[in-house]
Structure 1
Amino acid sequence: MLSVLDIFKIGLGPSSSHTVGPMRIGKRFIEFAQSKGIVNRIERITIDLHGSLASTGVGHGTDKASLLGLMGMQPDQADPDEAERAFQKTRTDGRLILAGGHEICFDMAEDLRLRPQITPEIHPNEMRIAAYDADGIILTDQTWYSVGGGFIATAQQLSAPAKDDLIDLPTSVPHPFMSATELLAICADQGLSIEQLILVNEDSFRDRQATLVGLDQVWRTMSQCIERGLENVGVLPGGLGVSRRAAKLYQALLGKTSHAEHESLFDWLNVYAMAVNEENAAGGRVVTAPTNGAAGIIPAVIRRYCVSATAIDTDAVHCFLLTAAGIGILYKQRASISGAEMGCQGEVGVACSMAAAGLAAVWGGSNQQIERAAEIGMEHNLGLTCDPVGGLVQIPCIERNAMGAVKAVNAARLALTAADSHKVKLDQVIETMRQTGLDMSRKYKETSEGGLAVNVIEC
């Protein structure tokens, strides 16, 4: 089973699959070279990006992330400003300092090759790295896949069949579940809420206090991201000329003395979600929730309903994150959270579903109501395409998170106020999302070859 802290990873923007994943791949590659004692023999490294990584790689920062990983930087620890300086120095000097200090020549035009015409068979986000010695002989050649949410895998890992739909990891948990139906049945048998069951499973990964500290760090990072987004102004990088809006909207909200309840709901959710995704678009530190492209939805809902002007309800934050992660695990195991595989239904749709479940739990919903909230959150995001204008995580991504946050709250409300049992189950909607993603045209799955990406004129 996956851990909550696998679902919520701390990293850098703008993309979990195109930034965090490639950065981890680069670091894993250089660690392998170090373990084999061949780093100092390396004279050249080439990086080939295929499929979606090539189509939107530059706009998503894949080129930068790949090099940062080779330098030894980690997504959860790298300082965004330091990372940018290191990348720009490599571009300017044509020299790449690998982890450990060994320096090689690196030509961005020759050694980092974008090949969108290559359609990978295993997963759309394919990355191949090769290292050569002074005679041009290959020292090591590896192919990796960035499969969404910062997760990475080899071809062998993706090709191996998953037993009973479970992701095969070395950590076993006391209550493994393969579906929402089974999750609810185990909870009923054990007399546990979804939050409690997930927390018991987390005890297999680390002691209880370490898990709670990890959850606090996740929320602290989310909260800090909101605060930066509410303060920073200016134009986002990338060439589209998109201006940051969250800070201005926030100041306008602070200046208002009263709101109707529904207006206040929309305004605050909008500003918090947009603050996060503007930071993400600028390459700031965010939490995959479950991806970077959908990173604003869960923080926005938590900030609105678990944090007051004077205090943070830590128990509510823990409840929200644990419950939401339980739903996220289901999507990751039974379908995908990769925009390159599922379109934006696999990112914003999943985040909306997770947030709806988390909020329903905080509001005291039963396990069945929580499952229903998650189902509603996804049902009305089915078919959502991923068509970023200019290959950047800006249009429609930033506003889409605001919309997803509002939908999540409404899904939780609908689930808790419904009088009858619902006809559509979460397992059914997850399978529908998976089938829809498989049927969806490649041009609507993070390639910027269709939809808004081709119908909006770039300025």
Structure 2
Amino acid sequence: MKSIRDVYKIGKGPSSSHTMGPERAARLFLSKYPDAETYRVVLYGSLSKTGRGHGTDRVLYEVLGRERTEVVFSEETPHSLPHPNTLDFFACREGKPYATMRVASIGGGDIRIEGQDAPQEQDEVYPENSFAEIAQFCRWRYISLSEYVELNEGPGIWDFLAEVWQTMKQAVADGLAAEGTLPGGLNVERKAKRLYAQSKENERPQVRELRIVCAYAFAVSEQNADNGTIVTAPTCGSAGVLPAVLLYMQRTHNIPDAQVLRALAVAGLFGALVKRNGSISGAECGCQAEIGTACSMAAAALCALMGLSIEETEYAAEIAMEHHLGLTCDPICGLVQIPCIERNAVAAKRAMDAFNLSGLLCGSRNISFDMVVRTMKETGLHISAKYRETSEGGLAKLYDRRAAN
């Protein structure tokens, strides 16, 4: 299994698969063919259908140069596509292509290049590839999940996670300070600042917790929607869940950063497991793959933060994923705004519920985390393409129909 560094990527929003991935691919293609007279990029599948809303064309123009680049939103979906997020690059001279590269943007900012050799063994950081294997190893060695991460990643992982945590906190701070309307034409107003400040006299503790956690999640998600700097956890569209719960717990319980970094390590471990054995791509498996994974990561992080056992941690992550199964990805106008921003807040609270429930019912569980990840992948592949980040069904379709009337 690959490093948790593949789960956490610092970059600009609004989409890890529609902006981060294509930007990375474009830079690679530019480095291979810098002397091309012109470039042509053809977008297929979800990239074509929601690329404008996600800013795919914008990042391609920024990297390759608007004056010499043509971006084509193809209405065709060839059966040979390796992934719903696929794009073809062409380097041209005198109007004719002389080099091409097909790339799949597989989620979380990662890309897969067609024809390239499979990742070599040295790219794998963890010998274990399932949670069952990891839990068995940890019990054998009498180590915690965060110690298991350090054992495989090396001590340098803590400096990396310190930067991740600082970026997450900054995204919350920037989001709470910002006001106005998000770009894209939906006229969605930023709500994080108002939500955070909306305390009332004699506010009940449960209401305060809901308000603050949701304000943090809104803050990061609104920053993402406004092309701000965030950390994929595991994607841009689900980036608000994990920092919201960790920052709330840190400030409520005066938890030091060093302890939070260990929680981030455990969260990253669960995210890496989903990337390997399931999917974190909304275009491939719906929003269950993005927000469901983020919720699992956050629930596991809370368990690590508060000293719960490995069994309780697995149960919390499983609960969080199980109750997102079948969740569709139907962004209105292809923007990462409705329902994405609000969904981050709801998932953050659900992660806290999963954490609390796991401590009460751990001994009674029947479903493993590995099983629910496999179920999520199978479910996602059977969801209609209309509900996998194409904006052709669900809220996206009904909103357009209503607006047209």
Query: What is the match of residue 181 of structure 2?
Result: 235
- TM-score, structure 2 length as denominator? 0.95
Structure 1's consecutive aligned runs of 4 or more residues displaced over 6 angstroms after TM superposition are none
Q: Is the 8 A contact 2:334 2:391 kept in 1?
A: yes
User: Which of 133, 139, 147 is the aligned partner of 1:196?
Assistant: 147
Confirm or deny: 8 A CA contact 2:278 2:374 kept in the other structure. yes
**For residues 63 and 182 of structure 1, do their structure 2 counterparts lie closer, same or farther at Cα, with a shift above 3 Å needed?**
same
Q: In structure 1, which of residues 268, 272, 278 is the aligned counterpart of residue 216 of structure 2? A: 272
1:293-352: CA deviations, max 9, x gaps?
00000010111012359x661122111110001101110000110000010000000000
- In the superposition, relative to structure 1, how do residues 458 and 7 fare at CA in structure 2: closer, same or farther (>3 Å)? farther
**1:282 maps to which of 212, 226, 229:** 226
**Equivalent position SS for 2:353:** helix
CA RMSD of aligned residues (A): 1.8
The within-5 A match list for 1:11-410 is: 11-33=11-33, 39-40=34-35, 42-70=36-64, 90=66, 95=67, 105-106=68-69, 111-119=70-78, 121-133=81-93, 135-156=94-115, 168-173=120-125, 175-203=126-154, 208=155, 210-253=156-199, 256-308=200-252, 313-410=256-353
Which 5+ residue runs of structure 1 have no aligned equivalent?
34-38, 72-89, 96-104, 161-166
Q: Secondary structure at 1:236's aligned position in 2?
A: coil
Q: Verify: 1:424 aligned to 2:375, yes or no.
A: no
Q: Is the 8 A contact 2:9 2:231 kept in 1?
A: yes
User: One-letter code of the match for 2:354?
Assistant: A
Relative to its length, the structure with more helix (as a share) is 2
2:103 corresponds to which letter in structure 1?
A: W
**Identity score, percent:** 42
- Contact 1:2–1:169 (8 Å) recurs in 2: no
Give unmatched runs, 5+ long, in structure 2. Answer: none
2:311 is paired with a residue whose SS is: helix
What is the Cα deviation at residue 172 of structure 1?
Answer: 4.5
Contact 1:14-1:292 at 8 Å conserved across structures: yes
**1:64, distance to aligned residue in structure 2 (A):** 1.1
One-letter amino acid of the structure 2 residue matched with residue 13 of structure 1: G
Q: Deviations over 1:113-170 (max 9, x none)?
A: 001432453100001111112x334232111010000010112359x5xxxxxx7552
Q: Secondary structure, in 3 states, of the residue corresponding to 2:293? A: helix
> Residue 22 of structure 1 contacts residue 62 of structure 1 at CA under 8 Å; is this kept in 2?
yes
The verdict on how the C-alpha distance between 1:307 and 1:116 changes in structure 2, with shifts beyond 3 A counting, is: farther
How far apart, in 2, do the equivalents of 1:14 and 1:24 lie? 15
Partner residue, 1:76: none
